[in-house]
Amino acid sequence: MPRQRTKPGEHSLEPLQIDLPLLVILVFVFAVFLAIHIRFESHYDFGVFYYASHMILEGSRHSLYDIRAQHAFQLQYHRPFDTLFRNPPFALLPILPLAKLPIAVAFSVWTLASFALLFLSLKILESETQLFFGNWPVLLSLAFAPVMASFLHGQFSLIVVACYAAVYALWRRGKLTLGGLVLSVATVKFQLVIGLVAVLLLRRRWRELAGFACGSGALALLSLWMVGFPLLLLYPGFVLHSDTPISELPHMANWQGLLSINGINYPTLLLVLSVGTVALAAWAWKDLERGFAAATLAAMLVSYHLTPQDLSLVLVPFYLGLRAGALSWARLPFLVGFSIVVPIAMVIVHAPLAFLAIPLIAAFLWITTEPREQDARKDAERGYALPS
């Protein structure tokens, strides 16, 4: 497929590739992330995965979801009590080999793996959408506060981004069951998958759901092997009753966070908004690009828990919205600038990040309701070209 021009008279940029300038920048960024993480280690999430892995390795696997047992390991590894491990057991599989290393070394290896996940995600999205911006996506992603925070925390959010990108690529090629299987890996943060699965159910996408069910079943068996059946039965109750710290709610850019900071976080209202969001995303699924973009945004909005790092997932609907013509190329510089400047400014002034749910909602409503040819026509009038 021929590469497209981004503006009249301008050749499109080269594909994403690792070259010397990019490597130099990545080494510098890596050193900065490592120095910051070491300085403020007790405030970041990687230590949670590290002590939870030691619970598995040191014979406390059957107490993984016992709060008192977690507190004992938190004391041992100098973690605050409100940073509990709430992920499913299999989420620790990539961390277990690293837990045998000193924590700084383990974090360094995990950061390199996270760089690889980010690069892979962007490369998949570039290849599938045929949108080429040189190495700018990597550089701008690292300046995007949620991605930056994901690196600093050593979070699993970039695993989810990579899974979503791979799922889109597989479904685009007609590999529906395999795509569903890959989607199950994203249940490492299952709250970011529930909304998409609900959309698939409403759309009666049985092959995708069959793959997801098979993958989820295999991961459940892995978890069973890791912690045993009695503890696995306790896991849902642990998640429900190990309350999210109140301090986190103002920083969740989803329906729950937005309602909370406005003092109207009523369960009935939250349920109505969540059901309506999923239903609208299912209704809007007329083609893969728009449907998958809308379902991804819906999954974020209806998730019961959304960390600032999880906003990294917007990289997927950003590419797909541009590919589908829902985002205008003429507005691209503004959208990129807004996405980088506003979250960083909010962090600096300690503004509630839950307000970022507003642009997420706006993007969701735009991509589900905007006439499909309107922005494409506007771009054509201005001389921009969309990939074919």
The answer as to whether 259 is a domain residue is: yes
Question: Across residues 43-52, what is the average pLDDT?
Answer: 92
In a domain, 1, yes or no: no
Q: Is residue 387 part of a domain?
A: no
Whether 216 is in a domain gets the answer yes
Q: Is the pLDDT of residue 374 over 60?
A: no
Domain contains 146? yes
Q: Would you state the pLDDT for residue 82?
A: 76
Does position 375 have pLDDT exceeding 80, yes or no?
A: no
Q: Of 308, 319, 324, give the one whose Cα is nearest residue 357.
A: 308
- Among the residue ranges 18-22, 166-170, 209-213, 384-388, the one predicted with the least confidence is 384-388
Instruction: Report the domain count for the chain.
Output: 1
Q: Are 312 and 206 in contact (CB under 8 A)?
A: no
pLDDT band at 272 (very low <50, low <70, confident <90, very high): very high
Q: Is 236 exposed, middle or buried (0-12, 13-18, 19+ CB in 10 A)?
A: exposed
- Contact (CB, 8 A) for 77 and 51: yes
- Residue 245 has a pLDDT of 57
**Is residue 151 in a domain?**
yes
Lowest mean pLDDT among 10-19, 110-119, 147-156: 10-19
Q: Give the pLDDT of residue 2.
A: 40
What is the distance between the alpha carbons of residues 297 and 61, in angstroms, rounded to a whole number? Answer: 35
Q: Is residue 388 part of a domain?
A: no
Per-residue pLDDT, averaged over 103-117, amounts to: 96
Structural domain range at position 307: 20-382
Range of lowest pLDDT (33-37, 231-235, 287-291): 231-235
Report pLDDT digits (tens) over 202-228.
999 999 999 999 999 999 999 999 999
Is residue 13 predicted with pLDDT exceeding 60?
Answer: yes
Higher pLDDT, 10 or 295: 295
206 domain residue, yes or no: yes
The pair of three-digit structure tokens given for residue 40, joined into one six-digit string? 């403020």
| DSSP per-residue string spanning 134-185 | TTHHHHHHHHSHHHHHHHHHT-SHHHHHHHHHHHHHHHHTT-HHHHHHHHHH
Read off the pTM.
Answer: 0.92
Q: Please report the pLDDT score of residue 80 as a whole number.
A: 82
Give CA 310 to chain center in angstroms.
Answer: 4
